[in-house]
Structure 1
Amino acid sequence: MLRPSSFRPALRSRVAHSTRFASSSGSSSQVEAAQKKAQEVLSSTQQSASKAFESAKKVAGPLGETAGKYLASASKSAGPLGEKAGNLLGSYKQPVLYNLAVFREIAKQIYRAEGLAPPSSVDAVRSAYRTLWTNASSKAFWQKAVSSGEIARLGVYALEAYGIFKIGEMLGRRSVIGYKLE
Structure 2
Amino acid sequence: MSATASRAVLRQSQFLTRRTAVRHASSTSEAASKAGQTASATASKASEGLSRVSSSAGPAISSAASALRKVGGRTGKVIAFVDSMIPPTVYYSRVGLELARLVFRGQSMTPPNLATFQTYFQPLTNAFSNPAALKNAGFSPSSIVSRVRSANKKEIALAGVAAAEVIGFFTVGEIIGRMNVVGYRGQPEHHH
TM-score by length of 1: 0.33
Q: Which has the higher helix share?
A: 1
> RCO higher in 1 or 2 (8 Å CA, sep ≥ 6)?
2
Larger Rg: 1
TM-score (norm 2): 0.32
